[in-house]
Structure 1
Amino acid sequence: MADHQAPALNQQIVLVTGGARGLGKAVTEAFLREGAKVVINYLNSREAAEALANEANERAANSAIAIQGDVTDPAAVKNIFDTAKEFFSAPISTVVNNALASFSFDGDARPKADEIDWSRFTGQFEGNVRGAVNTTQAALAGFEELGSGRIINIGTNLFQHPVVPYHDYTASKAALLSLTRTFAHDLGPKNITVNMLSGGLLRTTDASAATPEEVFDFIASGTPLRSVTTPAEFADAILFFASPWSRSVTGQNLVVDGGLVMD
């Protein structure tokens, strides 16, 4: 297909899974700031999601909607897309797979290789891989209607820098990177790009709240920028992959961690 042009950000309808808290909230706010309409998906954080949507709609009417749904459930995901299309009178144009299966970034408390149970792996694979498969498949009809689409997956720099024993989390995100690339190859002829952004520890989200301050300081000292990336900084990088500027970029993994990992 010769024309890979995607809609401008202020013409897009963006689904952010897990979009009410932590990194998801920062992503939601970044897209809203650029004039996009946002579907704020949540599982349990109803109050936070609805408050975020209400604030957005006070600034610009009908710019956001909060929709509950478990991304591991195909029926729930279909409902998210159907409800969003009815609300905005147009299909979702970009999907940000941000929802995180329950996880705390506290290396000292994580089970080591000799004790981790397989159930931890299945839980992470369900949330990170199955969730992305479900949202991608549900998005395809709308992408076809629009003539283009954007899938943006959230990964981790622990692929390249496995300094903490997050075995289950890292393995599932590595599988998501492979899925990103195979889906990019499969869906490219339909003018759909699939990319990943991978960060390190973010300062600070609910998931990283258990991380000791000295760990943040140690990470910052190892980066060229001498800082730990914030959710807002990471979210700004996501905008590139949703924008027309990235129309010829697919199957890529961009590491956004202040230069800690250079790959």
Structure 2
Amino acid sequence: MTVSSLPIDQQVVLVTGGARGLGAHLTRAFLDQGARVVVNYYQSREAAEALAKEAPQRALAIQADVREAEAVKALFAQAHAHFSAPITTVVNNALPDFTFNGDARPDADALDWARLNQQIEGVNRGALNTIQAALAGMREQEFGRIINVGTNLFQNPVVPYHDYTAGKAALLSLTRTLSHDLGPDNITVNMISGGLLRTTDASSATPEAVFDLIAQNTPLRRVTTPAEFADAALFFASPWARAVTGQNLIVDGGLVKG
């Protein structure tokens, strides 16, 4: 019989790029709910291992470049051996090197394919590799949750980060098509789209005036925090969202509608 949902404390969760910034908040959110968590990192070994030590029985730091399919497969095998269970829940958070600084972004004249391809490789190839590596275990359990991290810049391109948004837009398309493909396997696929978060490593270069302007134009009159964003990931992983798939939930304090 298909298990339509599992409590979060029975899940094994992979957070890609889970050692720093938003990823660390996502990791801690799932650990706080009793989940076992694989803290994936690329270069941030010390941060990942320190985070794993906060819950040594339930957290495991594993290095892997998610752009490399074989490295991702090895990560899944190591996690399965460590926890004696397959990964049930994948949070695709890993982001190629990127800084949210509108003054430094390439405009239309300066944008080149290398920048676009960097984001597509990191965001889309990375997500595809983790999802494909997860499928066998999810199908075996007849349960899976895939949560992709997006952006509200689709709806409100106030700062045209062309390369970053292109990668995330493709990830939204993949979210929706995969939800249809994997629905019969009881695997849901959803996206969470935040705005500028206060504050992550990527947004640390953002001028204070920009944060203030966003707060003034947001119904909640403040900038969303990474911890608040992580709450939405818990919702999509939880039994409360067992009938929700193919959705893009905007979590930005009401700044962008729909």
- Give the TM-score category using the shorter length: over 0.9
Q: Cα deviations across residues 45-70 of structure 1 (Å, max 9, x unaligned)? A: 0000000001111xxxx200000000
CA distance in 1, matches of 2:242, 2:2: 9
Alpha-carbon distance in 2 for matches of 1:229, 1:56: 26
User: Quick one: which of 134, 137, 140 aligns to 2:132?
Assistant: 137
Spell out structure 1 runs of 4+ moving beyond 6 A. Answer: none
The aligned residue for residue 189 of structure 1 is 184
Structure 1 residue 115: Cα displacement: 1.0
Instruction: Give how far 1:165 is off.
Output: 2.2
| Secondary structure of the corresponding residue to residue 124 of structure 2 | helix
- 1:166 paired to 2:166: no
1:108-147 pair list within 5 angstroms:
108-147=103-142
Q: Which whole-Å CA distance do the structure 2 matches of 1:165 and 1:233 have between them?
A: 24
Normalization by structure 2: what TM-score?
0.99
Aligned length: 258
Deviation at 1:145, TM superposition (A): 1.6
- The C-alpha deviation readout for 1:77-135, integer Å capped at 9, x for no partner, is 00110000000000000000000011000001001011111100000000111111100
Query: In structure 1, what residue type is equivalent to 2:145?
Result: R
1:166-186 deviation per Cα after TM superposition (whole angstroms, max 9, x unaligned) = 000001100000000000000
Tell me which residue corresponds to 2:74. Answer: 79
Q: 1:11 aligned to 2:6?
A: no
Partner of 2:60: 65
Helix, strand or coil: the match of 2:136? helix
Secondary structure at 2:134 match in 1 = helix
Q: Equivalents in 1 of 2:110, 2:215: separation in Å? A: 30
Tell me if the contact between 1:43 and 1:70 (Cα under 8 Å) persists in the aligned partners: yes
SS of equivalent to 2:54: helix
Check 1:4–1:254 CA distance in 2 against 1; reply closer, same or farther (3 A cut): farther
Identity of aligned residues (%): 70
Aligned 8 A contact 1:4 1:248 in 2: no
- Kindly indicate whether the alpha-carbon contact (under 8 Å) linking 2:2 and 2:142 is maintained by their aligned counterparts in 1: no
Cα deviation digits, residues 142-194 of structure 1 (max 9, x gap) = 10121110000000000000011200000110000000000000000111000
User: Are 1:179 and 2:174 an aligned pair?
Assistant: yes
Pick from 146, 149, 152: which aligns with 2:144?
149
Shift of 1:3: 5.1
Q: Counterpart in 1 of 2:90?
A: 95
Task: Tell me the distance in 1 between the aligned counterparts of 2:172 and 2:209.
Answer: 30
User: Which ranges in structure 2 are unaligned for 5 or more consecutive residues?
Assistant: none
What is the rounded CA distance, in whole Å, between the counterparts of 1:10 and 1:4 in structure 2?
Answer: 15
- For structure 1, list consecutive stretches of 5 or more residues without a partner in the other structure: none
Structure 1 residue 4, shift from structure 2 partner: 5.8
1:240 corresponds, among 225, 235, 241, to 235
Equivalent residue of 1:92, what SS?
Answer: coil
Contact 1:77 1:134 in 2 (8 A): yes
Deviations 1:231-257 (A, max 9, x none): 000001110100111111000000000
Superimposed CA distance per residue, residues 198-240 of structure 1 (whole angstroms, 9 cap, x where no aligned partner): 0000000110000000100000111100010000000011101
Q: State the one-letter code of the partner of 1:91.
A: P
Q: Which residue of structure 1 lines up, in the alignment, with residue 221 of structure 2?
A: 226
Partner of 2:25: 26
Matched-pair contact (CA < 8 Å) for 1:184–1:251: yes
Distance 1:76 1:201 in 2: 31
Aligned-residue RMSD, C-alpha:
0.9
